[in-house]
Structure formats: structure tokens, C-alpha cells
Amino acid sequence: MDAHLQAFDACLKEALAQTREWVPRWLDRLHGDLKEKELSARQLGDKQVFVEARTALESHRDLIATRFLAALGDSVGNALPGSDAQPRRAQSVSFDELELMGDDQVQETVELARVQQIVNMTVDHEIVELTARLCTAQGMHSVNADANPLRADVVVAALTKSLKGLNVAPAVRSRWMQTGAISLGNELQALYTHLSALLERMGVAAAGYNVIQAPHARATSDAAPGRRTGGAPEETGLGADALLTLDHLHQLLVGNLEQPGADAQREPGTAGTGNAMVRTLASEVVSLMLKQIAADERLLRPVREMLQDMKPALLQVARTEPRFFADRQNPARRLLDAITEHSLAYTNEQDRGYAAFSRQVRNIIDTLQKPGPDLADRFPGLLQHFNRSQTEAMAPEQVQARGLAVKTLVRVEQRNLLAERVAAEFRSRNDFSRSPGVVRRFLTGPWAQVVAQARLELANATGLSTSEMPAMRYTDILPDLLWSSQLALASLNRPRLVKIIPGVLRTLREGLDSIDYPREQAEAFFQALMGLHEAAYKTQRAELPQDSPPSQQGDIELEPWMQPAEARDTGFLDDIALESQPDTQPSFVDTQPLQRDWVDLKAELVAQPPSQLSVGTWVDMWQDGQAVRCQISWASPHGTLFLFAGPHGRSLSMTRRGLDRLIEQDKLRVVADHGVVNEALDEVTRQAWLNSIKASGI
């Protein structure tokens, strides 16, 4: 094992050993703090709260220690980079998740965030040094905060998990967490200092921090000031004085703030929609959402400005339908989604189609700004007209070409999956492993495709005799092909060798022609095969020939393959071509900045395989010296092939391996994968979360 990896392993073991010592010490300190608060409480009710918390702690002390140690051990393993079970941070609660939460879950989220903030403030200096050394121990050259499996949020989450399993009231657990937050931070501070010293003694230096160019330095002239494009969340991103808290937002989403009849003076059209508090909070959400969209540099500046002109209409809708923004089927929400979604296709005001799109959005806004009581009724018609115009803007031949591309890719994936099973059948033959590597690779590569194609055609054919079935002929030659390629066997029976060679070669050529396999690659194999046959024929019996030892080169990994016609129909970007692209381009250094820094995005994509990128995701792809905006319009059922809608309606396709390679080469970036409005509402939720913490005085 590498010395640094040994140090990393030793550090984790020492951390768990130390935890067995400090957890009981922390519980003792927590008990003492609860006793102090009990004695200092002036009100009988307050004193009783601490008495209950202290008594419950005494009853569950040993169980808490046992469960906390077990939960922390599991959490440390799950927190390692690349783990599928990495814990979510409190900041990552999304708008959609909030709507599904119960009141107790919302309160728990806020309390957990408060405790994490207290602990993080306590260990701020020590965690930086420990993380830097742990990154080096894992072979990293720069610091990645999430590579520290002992970070404070992991410890706090493990503690929360262990406490939730106890049969105690939520108020008691909350009192434990709040009272013990500072002492927990002190214990972790000492632990981190001890572990950093241990790594230093083992010769593990601290990794460096990447210097990332400030977003404003890379921004185009069209960039809006204050836009968060990467790095840590900005505490004042949406207004520090916002009244919206996480609890308020949750109550608004689930309808608990509605109090019909509470308003003495209702405005026309608001009957049954709740009181002034509901309308005020709904208006705040709309304002914060639009403010976030206004700062989103993925959208062209004129688009952002036009969307702000929709604010009066959306605020009016919020007064009559306070939760319209949470209803994905609401016409107003759908119209906003449709406009922002389509606007991502344009990176420049001179792009083809932008002028028409801009005029249409302007017409929509003009219609919404007209006075009248029928505002809500205008949205469905505007949405229908907008969607129809976008469909009509695509030329019929483009629609037809896309349909052909999808149909072709479905067939390609089907054939490739079948070819994998065929290759497995070939490998299971007793005579397969003794054949030369060039033959094995041919059989599990091109010939597996030939047989798979023939079997698919056989499924649709009728009235063929067994001898006429290509699939049968293509597998019937395997014994002769494998025998003839083995020098020791074939040289012992030259008459048989001479007899079978013409038929084998003829069948091989027929099969490769059936999938339009490239001639130059086919000829290269035939030259190698005929060389094997010639050597077997010329070998004399007295020489006692021996086959070369089995090739140590593994069989080729079967990759999705396309016939030339299929590649043309789908705009296929060949993996080999992608691999051989010279890496001399400046990649995305000078392009428009994205919402998140590429360092963060790349880390996300390492943990999330490209096959999981959803249809509808917008990306920037580096091609021919420039960044091209594309959208994933289709993904094959098994995630092996992807179809992109490129500029001017042109379709591009590539394999999962090709997509991986573009990401590794920094030639593909995710621009938007959740929708502009969705992300804006997630940011509203984050701000509500921050406001909740501020309300606690932390």
C-alpha cells in the first residue's frame, strides 16, 4: 500500500479510537451544562425543561455513546469521495423537498444547520489544515473540502441520526443539541489538531488550494453584477432583510398559513385564498425568484430584462393563487419555465432564431401588461401559442431527421447489447482461450456485431431454411476459424486447412459486408489471419510446432459501434475521433461563465455518471475551436447513447464513453440540468434557510 494511503488509513483509525474517548467526555460536559442551565433558570417552566433533558440524558447516556460511535463509523465510510451514500448538507435542501417535508422535519433541518454553524465556527482553522493533509494522503494535489470524511457536518449528522433513534421527545433532543453544540465544537477542535499532527509526523504535507479566477474577471459585457457563479454561497445573495424563513415557506407551500375569513377587507378575487400573510409571503417568493433569474448569466441580458417586466403580472397572480410557482402545471409557471428553457439555446443576440424569439417574448409581456380582470385567463392561451410557435419554427426535415436519429440509435443500442451477449457466448467456448489474441479480439468485437445483426434480422424474417440463415452460418464457422488459427493443431492436418480456408474467408467477408464494416480494418485482420494460415501450412511435422503462449493482452472492451450510414443519420461523434482530438484548444477559459464553477461541476459529474444526465440538460460542447450550446434531447434506455440537439436544428450523438472523454478533457460543461426557475426557487429556499438561522441570533 502507498505510504500516503497508509497514513490516511491510520488517520481514520486513530480518529475512531479518539472518538471513543471524547464522546463520553462530551456527554459528561453536556450533563454539566444542562445542570448549570437548570440552576440558573429563573422561571419554573424553563427549569423543568432542563430537568427533563438532564434526566433523559442520564437514562440514555450509554446508549447514546454506543449508537453515536456506530453511526459515525458508518458516516465516515459513506462520506468518502465517490461514495453513493454521501450525506447531504443542510444547505442542499431543495424547493421540491421542502414541500414534501413535515413540520418536524423543517424544524430539524433548521436546528441541524444551527448546530453545524456553531461547530464550524469553532473548528474553522483546524479543519482547514486537516482537510489539506487528508487530500494529500488520498493522492490529491489540490484541496477538496468534501474529501475530508471527518468534517464537522458528517459528525453532526451522525450525532443527529443516533439521537433520532432514541425514545425521547423531539424537544429533549433539540435541547441536547443546542446545549452541547459549543462543547462538541471544542472536542472536534482538539481532535482535528491531534490528527493533523499525526499526519505531519507521518510525512504528509498539506495540499494546496486552487486559485480560481474571480467570476467578474471572466464575465462578458452582458454579465449582471452580483451574480454568484461559483465558490461559497453568498449570505446576502437575495436580500438580508427578507422576512421569509424556512418555516414560513414550508407553511405557504402546504397551505397551513391560510385562514379564510381572517381578513376583514379582502380584495376582489381573493376569496378563499387566505389572509394578508399568505399574499405577502407569496409576493416575496416571486420577487426573490425573479431577482435570482435577473442575475443568472446563463440567460442573455435582454432576456433577463424582459423577464423582469413580467413581475407585475406574476405578483398579481400570486395574490389570487399564492402557490402558483410551486405548481408545475399552473399556466403562469409553465409559461415562465418555457421561456427560460428556450432562452438557454442562445448564447449571443446574433444567433439565428433569437430575434424572432425575442419579439415573441416581448409580445407576451405586452399582453400581460394590459389592464383588465382577466389576467389569469391569458396565460393558457399565451403558453399554447408560444409552444406551437417553437414547434413550427423547426423545419419539417429537421423533425424527420431527429425521428430517424432516435429510431437508428434505438436499433444501435439493441444490436450492441445483443453483441455483448454474443461475445460472452464466444468467450465461454473451450477452444476460445487457446486462439491468438488477434482472433479473440476480432470475434468479441466486429464478429459479435455481425452475429447480433444477423440475429436481429432473423427475428423479422420468415420462410428461411436453416442453411439460408446468416446467423447460423456466422456461428457455424467458429470451430474451423478457431482451429485454423492455432499453429500446433492446424499444421498437423494441412489437407483440412486447405479445404476450410476458402469457405471461412468467404463467410467472414460476407458477414463484415453485412454491417458495412470498414474495408481497411477488415483487410488488416485478413492479413493477420492469412499469416497464421500460411505459417501452419509451411510448418513441417518434424518441427513439432508449438503455439505461442496465450496473449496477455486482454480482449477489447466492446463499445457501442455504428455502421457508417447509422453514423451519418445520427450525427455520430466517433469515440476514436474524440480521443485523438489535439488538446491545444483553450477549452472554456474565455467563454461565458456558468452558474457554478467547473471545479464543482466536475466533482459532481465524477460522482454522477454521464448516463444519469437527464434529457433536457443544456451543455456547452467545445467543437471546431468554439463552444457550441447543445441540449440532450434523448438518451437510450440503457444509457449507452445520447442524442443532442445542436445549433440550427442539427443533431449530434455520442456514446457514454465519448461523453466521459469530453468531460475529462474539459470540452463539455453542464449549463443547466434542473431548469432556471427550479434553481431560482432552490435559491429562494436557501435564503429562507439562512434567514431561519439569522432569526436564532447565531
DSSP 478-518: HHHHHHHT-HHHHTT-HHHHHHHHHHHHHHHHHHHHHTT--
- Report the alpha-carbon distance of residue 148 to residue 135 in Å, rounded: 7
Residue 653's domain spans which residues? 565-673
What are the φ/ψ torsions at residue 595 (nearest 5 degrees)?
-65, -40
Query: Which of 84-93, 170-179, 263-272 is predicted least confidently?
Result: 263-272
Q: Is the pLDDT of residue 432 over 80?
A: yes
What pLDDT is attached to residue 423? Answer: 93
**Is 53 a member of any domain?**
yes
- Report the alpha-carbon distance of residue 628 to residue 644 in Å, rounded: 11
Could you tell me which residue, 221 or 2, shows the higher pLDDT? Answer: 2
What pLDDT is attached to residue 5? Answer: 81
Cell numbers 479518539: residue: 18
651-655 sheet: strands from edge to edge: 651-655, 641-645, 626-635, 618-623, 668-672
The closest alpha carbon to 61, from 132, 134, 166, belongs to 166
Residues 72 and 24 in one domain: yes
Beta bridge partners of 631: 618, 645
**Is 225 a member of any domain?**
no
The closest alpha carbon to 156, from 205, 128, 121, belongs to 121
Tally of domains in the chain: 4
**Is 128 a member of any domain?**
yes
Amino acid at 63: L
What pLDDT is attached to residue 468? Answer: 59
- Cβ atoms of residues 492 and 544 within 8 Å: no
Residues 128 and 9 in one domain: yes
Q: Is the pLDDT of residue 431 over 60?
A: yes
The widest CA-to-CA distance across the chain, in whole angstroms, is 113
Residues 504 and 575 in one domain: no
For residue 300, what is its C-alpha cell? 442573455
Helices 170-201 and 44-78 cross at an angle (nearest 10°) of 40
Q: What is the DSSP letter of 139?
A: T
**Is 618 a member of any domain?**
yes
- Cβ atoms of residues 658 and 644 within 8 Å: no
The closest alpha carbon to 148, from 163, 134, 136, belongs to 134
Beta strand segments in 328-485, E: none
- Report the alpha-carbon distance of residue 305 to residue 309 in Å, rounded: 7
- Report the alpha-carbon distance of residue 665 to residue 635 in Å, rounded: 22
Torsion angle (degrees, nearest 10) of CA 472, 474, 480, 485: -160
What pLDDT is attached to residue 183? Answer: 93
- Cβ atoms of residues 651 and 405 within 8 Å: yes
pLDDT digits (tens, 9 = 90+) for 243-288: 688 888 888 888 766 554 444 444 433 334 446 788 888 999 999 9
pLDDT above 70 coverage of the chain, percent: 79
What's the rounded mean pLDDT across residues 153-173?
86
Q: List Cα–Cα distances, 255 to 222, 262, 269, 322, 326, in angstroms.
A: 40, 14, 18, 9, 12
Give the up-direction half-sphere exposure of residue 216: CA atoms within 13 A in the CB hemisphere: 5
DSSP secondary structure string, 561-598?
Answer: ---HHHHHHHTB--HHHHHTS-TTS-TTTTSPP-SS-H
Q: Is the pLDDT of residue 237 over 90?
A: no
pLDDT digits (tens, 9 = 90+) for 546-556: 545 544 444 44
Question: Is the sign of the CA dihedral 237, 243, 249, 253 positive or negative?
Answer: negative
Residues 624 and 682 in one domain: no
Beta strands at 618-623 and 651-655: parallel, antiparallel or unpaired: unpaired
Buried b / exposed e across 377-396, counting CB within 10 Å, b at 16+? Answer: ebbeebbeebeeebeeeeee
Residue 320: strand, helix, or coil: helix
Q: Name the average pLDDT for the chain.
A: 80
What pLDDT is attached to residue 387? Answer: 92
Residues 169 and 312 in one domain: no
Q: List Cα–Cα distances, 535 to 485, 491, 624, in angstroms.
A: 10, 8, 47
Q: List Cα–Cα distances, 572 to 100, 317, 430, 551, in angstroms.
A: 41, 46, 37, 33
- Report the alpha-carbon distance of residue 435 to residue 483 in Å, rounded: 8
Beta strand segments in 287-415, E: none
Residues 655 and 687 in one domain: no
Q: What contacts 667, CB < 8 A, 6 or more positions away? A: 581, 585, 587, 621, 622
Residues 25 and 152 in one domain: yes
Residues 447 and 577 in one domain: no
**Is 350 a member of any domain?**
yes
Could you tell me which residue, 435 or 468, shows the higher pLDDT? Answer: 435
CATH for 630: 2.30.30.140
Query: Which of 181-195, 370-384, 552-566 is predicted least confidently?
Result: 552-566
What's the rounded mean pLDDT across residues 673-696?
85
- Report the alpha-carbon distance of residue 318 to residue 320 in Å, rounded: 5
**Is 471 a member of any domain?**
yes
Q: List Cα–Cα distances, 5 to 11, 137, 326, in angstroms.
A: 10, 6, 47
Could you tell me which residue, 250 or 648, shows the higher pLDDT? Answer: 250
Residues 184 and 287 in one domain: no
* pLDDT classification of 640: cutoffs 50, 70, 90: confident
Q: What contacts 92, CB < 8 A, 6 or more positions away? A: none
What pLDDT is attached to residue 666? Answer: 82
- Cβ atoms of residues 485 and 532 within 8 Å: yes
Q: Is the pLDDT of residue 294 over 50?
A: yes
What pLDDT is attached to residue 606? Answer: 40
What pLDDT is attached to residue 417? Answer: 92
Give the up-direction half-sphere exposure of residue 246: CA atoms within 13 A in the CB hemisphere: 36
Q: Is the pLDDT of residue 690 over 50?
A: yes
- Report the alpha-carbon distance of residue 382 to residue 361 in Å, rounded: 10
Q: Is the pLDDT of residue 607 over 50?
A: no
pLDDT digits (tens, 9 = 90+) for 12-37: 889 989 999 999 999 999 999 999 99
Give the up-direction half-sphere exposure of residue 515: CA atoms within 13 A in the CB hemisphere: 31
- Cβ atoms of residues 24 and 65 within 8 Å: yes
Helices marked H in 428-462: 437-442, 448-460
Residues 46 and 172 in one domain: yes
- Report the alpha-carbon distance of residue 177 to residue 171 in Å, rounded: 10
Residue 334: strand, helix, or coil: helix
* pLDDT classification of 454: cutoffs 50, 70, 90: very high
* pLDDT classification of 398: cutoffs 50, 70, 90: confident
- Cβ atoms of residues 238 and 292 within 8 Å: yes
Residues 668 and 679 in one domain: no
What pLDDT is attached to residue 467? Answer: 54
What are the φ/ψ torsions at residue 371 (nearest 5 degrees)?
-70, 155
**Is 693 a member of any domain?**
yes
What pLDDT is attached to residue 681? Answer: 93
Residue 628: strand, helix, or coil: strand
pLDDT digits (tens, 9 = 90+) for 362-397: 999 999 999 988 999 999 999 999 999 888 877 788
Q: Rounded to an integer, what is the distance from CA 144 to the centroid of its chain?
A: 17
Question: Is the sign of the CA dihedral 435, 486, 448, 524 positive or negative?
Answer: positive
What's the rounded mean pLDDT across residues 416-434?
93
Could you tell me which residue, 124 or 698, shows the higher pLDDT? Answer: 124
Q: What contacts 163, CB < 8 A, 6 or more positions away? A: 64, 173, 176, 177
Residue 99: strand, helix, or coil: helix
What pLDDT is attached to residue 696? Answer: 60
**Is 405 a member of any domain?**
no
Residues 527 and 598 in one domain: no
The model scores a pTM over 0.95 = no
The closest alpha carbon to 507, from 477, 464, 465, belongs to 477
CB atoms within 10 A of CB 503: 13
